[in-house]
Amino acid sequence: MGTHMIDRLTSTLTFRVLFFLSAVLVLPVLALGLLFTSGFLLSLAWQRETALEVLAFASLSLGGAVGTVGWILSLIASRNPERYSLTAIFVCLTIGVVTALAVTAYSIGQMLEGLRSPWDPMLMTAPFAVFGTATTIWVLDGIGRMQVLARRYWECTGHAFDAMPVVFLMVSIGLAAGGVAASVTL
C-alpha cells in the first residue's frame, strides 16, 4: 500500500511549519469557544430566539475539541496502531475535519461578504482569509493522519483497515444531529 499524495504533502517540513502557525491561531480560538460554550448553553433558558446560533456555536466548539482529541490520539497510535481503536480515532478525526470545513466555509462566506462592503475590504476580509486558511490546513492534516494510520495499520498487521463502519457511524451521527437541529428550529 503506497503513500497517497495528501500523506506526502502533510509529512513535509513546510506543511509542518504551516500547521504549527495555524495551531497558534486556531487553538486559542478553540479554547475561548469551549470556555464560553457552557455560558451560551445556559442562556438558552431565557433566549429561545437565538437557540440555533447558540447550538451552532456549541457544536463547532465541541467538534473542534473532539477533533483535537482525535489528532492527539492519532499521534499516539501512529507508532503501534493495532493496539488502539482506529474506528474511534477516525470518528474523532472526521468530526474535527467536518467542523474545520464548516468554519472554513463560514470564513469564506464572511470574506466574500466583506468584499462587497463599501468600507475598507482589507480590514473586513483579511482576518477571515487567514482563519479560513488556518482551518483548511487542519482539514488537510486530519485527512493525512487518517491515511497514515490506515497505512501503518496495514504495514503492522498485513490487513487493510475496514473504514465502512466508520462511514456508517458518521452518517448516523449526521442524521441524528440534523434531527436535533430540525427539532430545535420548530
3-state secondary structure of 18: helix
Q: What is the reported pLDDT for 181?
A: 66
Q: Please compute the mean of the pLDDT values over residues 85-114 and round it to a whole number.
A: 86
Q: Considering the chain, what percentage of its residues have pLDDT values greater than 70? A: 88
For the chain, which residues make up each domain, given as ranges? 5-180
Task: Reply yes or no on whether the pLDDT at 65 is more than 90.
Answer: yes
Residues 6+ positions from 30 with CB-CB distance below 8 Å? 61, 64, 65, 68
DSSP 8-state secondary structure symbol assigned to residue 116: T
What pTM value is reported for the model? 0.80
pLDDT score for 22: 92
Q: Which pLDDT score, from 0 to 100, does residue 121 have?
A: 63
pLDDT band at 37 (very low <50, low <70, confident <90, very high): confident
For residues 109 and 132, the answer to whether their CB atoms sit within 8 Å is no
14 pLDDT exceeds 80? yes
The C-alpha cell of 102 is what? 464548516
Please report the DSSP string for 142-179 in residue order: HHHHHHHHHHHHHHHHSS----HHHHHHHHHHHHHHHH
